[in-house]
Every structure is written in structure tokens, then in C-alpha cells.
Structure 1
Amino acid sequence: MDDQGGKSAQQRWNSNLRKLIGLALVLTAIAASASAHGAPAGGPTSGISIPSLSHGEMSVISTYRGAIIDLAENAADTNEDFRRVLNYAQIEYSYCMWGSVPQSVSDENSPFNECSHAYLAATKDVLLRMRTMPREAAAASEIVSNIDTELVLHQLSLILCQFSNESFNTADLIRPDWSAVPMHPASMASFSAIALLLLGSAWALRRTGRSAG
């Protein structure tokens, strides 16, 4: 019975380890695919143009992003252009790791700064479009007023970076510069933490398997 129990525990450990390795491979494949499939060399030929966003605006817009998206998702009187820009904002947000990578908004050298510009520029565009909607106009205008106040109060309007003059297009998805992650300490630390978490989980599963044996 002891031998059978030991074999069973070892099998569980091997199975769980394979799952963890599989997850790591999937994440690696996603990163490689995103890096390989960037924007077309000729630029977008269709889609909706989205105005650029200054570096100073980014930090303020990011603070209000949740409220803006909630309002937009519940908007009643929408049109196709509005829905496409909203969809673009949400896709870019997911491509940019849901804004979870440290310094992705604040540091223009972050591999995630350009895609942060993209989803926040689209978020701002969504907000401005809602000011013309009868039901959402009041709430949207209040958010715009709050943003303008913070920009003036902290003198952020004129803070620029390398992406501040870059406009975007719903036909052109912006992905993180994965090849630059190892050269950016904050990004590298974030992904190293994920790797350590996977290793820690594997170690814990191995100890659990030994205890069961």
C-alpha cells in the first residue's frame, strides 16, 4: 500500500508540474506571438482615428478609467463608431496586461508605455463622445471637469514624451515591446515575480505530493 501511495503521489506531482510548465509555455507563446505580429508596416488603411494623448494626461485619465468604462458600457444611445472605439480601448487594455505592469503609465521607457497611451487615448475619446449623449452627458461632463481640474492643479497638460504626438487607429493594435522587457527593471521585476510564483507553486505541489506519500 505504501508503494502504491507513493506512486500515486508522484503521479499527481508529475501531472501538476506538467500543468505549470504548460502554463509557462502558453504565456511565453503569447508573448512571442505579440512581439512577432506588430502593426503593419504601411499603417492602418481603415478604422477610426483616435487623437493623441500627452504624457501628463495619462496619469489622470488612468485614475478615471474605471468610471469612464463603466459609464460607457452602460450607455444606451450609442452608435457603431462609439462601440468600436470602446472595444479598441478594452482590447488595448488587455494587451497592455490590464495596466498591472509597474511604471507602464509613468515611464516613457517602459515596454508597455506605448500601448498604455493607446488604451488611455481611446478611453479619453470614449469619454468625450459621451458628452454628446443625452443620458450620459451630465456624468461624462463631470468627469471631464474633474480631469481638467487635476491637469491644471498639477500642471500636467504640457508634460510630453516620445508617444505624446502619436495618434491611434482602431485598425492598428499596439502591442507591448516584449523584446525590451529584460532592459526595463520594473517590468523585468514584475515578470520575474510571476516566474518565482510558478516555481513556488511547483515546490509546494512537490512537498504536498511527498507528504501524501
Structure 2
Amino acid sequence: MARGGRCAIAGRWLGVIMALASLFTVVPVRAHHPRPSDGTLVGLAIPAIGHGEMQVVARHRSDILDLAARQARTDATLRRLMGFVSLQHFACWWGLVPGSLTDEASPFNECAHADMAGIRALLAHLSTMPGAQSAASALEARIAADIAADPAFAALCSNSSETFDSGVVIGPEWRLLPLHAPTVLTGLFLLALAAGGAWLLSRCLPPANRPASSGTR
């Protein structure tokens, strides 16, 4: 591959890595609207989801989103839930941090609960919509069967009783970061990749212009 092509690829990868690394500082614990202290909903109520159930719902996430995207006729509830799960998935780093779904101690576990609870609420709403009822009901039955087949999927955690609000996007709980080694290692890995990408990109840049030597004094 030509040097210019390698440099362009290095530049693109560095941009992606830096964007991911920057999320450690730009995603707050509670993004967008703060939750009212009196419990008033900002958006739609989203029921809680069990710790083990999240893993099953996550398996069918793409199927549920595809079904929602195929709806020719939408309503305000569908659009609001679609917007919530999109923002929530971003706030959770797209589920890429190890332990987000499975580790209660992860800074990303609460936001993963919100993400999966939103997906399940979206499926529940699809099951009431003309044109989606049959497919949505089939997905709900498949999820229920998977949960019933393995007692581990009935596990609960401290976040399993939390209900959510489609108007409140939940970010990572950074106070838990120093105590969660996988998240710390993920952050260090991203920073190391960013440093390596910056070094590689610097090798692609032309040297600084220097005054030509006259050869005589």
C-alpha cells in the first residue's frame, strides 16, 4: 500500500480512537435532562429489567431494531423509544466495555440496564402496532423461552428494580471507575492506541522546512 494510503488509514483510525477515548470525559453520569426530584416523568416510563434478562434481550437487539425500522406507519411512542435507545446505546459506549451487561460493579451496568430496558419496552410497544404484532410477539416468546431455559437469566442485581424515563439518558457512573479493573484497562488500552496512532501519523507528516545550507562561510 502506498505511503499516502497508509497515512490516510492511520489518520482515520486515530480519529475514531480519540473519539472513543474522549467519551471518558464527555459523558456525564446523567446526560440530557436531569431526573426530577419529585419523580415526575420527563418522557415515557420504561419498566425495569432483570440483570440476567439483559443478556437475552441483547441477543435480539438487532432484530428488534430492524423490526421497528421497517414500520411504515409510526407513532409518537415508537419514535420516542427509538430516540431513547439510540442515545442510551451511545452513552453506554455501544456495549463495548467488558462487563457492561454482566458485572454489577461495572460503571456501565446501570446504563446497560437502561439500554436493554428501552429495547424491551420498544418490543412491547411493537407488539401492539398493526403490522408488527405477529413478529414482535414471536420475538417476545423467543426471549421468554430463552430466559426460562436457563436459571442464570433470572439473576437480579441492585439495578434490576430501577425504572427509567425516556427523557433521561443514563451515562456511566464514573465514581465506580477506580474499582473496576476491566474499565480501567479499556481506557488505558484506548489511550495507548491513540498514542500509537499519533506516533504513526507523525511519521507520515513531511519534515519541517529547513533553510538551505550555503556550503560556504
Secondary structure of 2:172's aligned partner: coil
Secondary structure of 1:35's aligned partner: coil
Aligned residues: 194
Partner of 2:28: 35
TM-score in terms of structure 1 length: 0.80
1:101 aligns with 2:97: yes
Q: How does 1:51-200 map to 2 (within 5 A)?
A: 51-200=47-196
Q: CA deviation at 1:127?
A: 0.4
Contact in 1 for aligned 2:29/2:170 (Cα 8 Å): no
What amino acid is the match of 1:46?
V
In structure 2, how many angstroms separate the alpha carbons of the residues matched to 1:45 and 1:153? Answer: 35
In structure 1, how many angstroms separate the alpha carbons of the residues matched to 2:119 and 2:19? Answer: 32
Percentage of pairs with the same residue: 31
Q: CA deviation at 1:45?
A: 3.9
Q: Which moved more, 1:165-174 or 1:70-79?
A: 70-79
Secondary structure of 1:173's aligned partner: strand
**Relative to 1, partners in 2 of residues 1:117 and 1:137: Cα closer, same or farther, differing over 3 Å?**
same
In structure 2, how many angstroms separate the alpha carbons of the residues matched to 1:62 and 1:189? Answer: 24
Partner of 2:213: none
Contact in 1 for aligned 2:27/2:171 (Cα 8 Å): yes
> Aligned Cα RMSD in Å?
2.8
Q: CA deviation at 1:186?
A: 0.9
Which runs of structure 1 show a deviation greater than 3 angstroms over 4 or more consecutive aligned residues? 23-28, 30-33, 36-41, 206-213
Q: CA deviation at 1:77?
A: 2.9
Contact in 1 for aligned 2:35/2:42 (Cα 8 Å): no
Whichever structure has more helix as a proportion of its residues is 1
Q: CA deviation at 1:67?
A: 0.9
Q: CA deviation at 1:82?
A: 1.9
TM-score in terms of structure 2 length: 0.79
Q: Which moved more, 1:111-120 or 1:71-80?
A: 71-80
**Relative to 1, partners in 2 of residues 1:139 and 1:209: Cα closer, same or farther, differing over 3 Å?**
same
Structure 2 unaligned runs (5+)? 1-6, 210-217
Structure 1 unaligned runs (5+)? 1-11
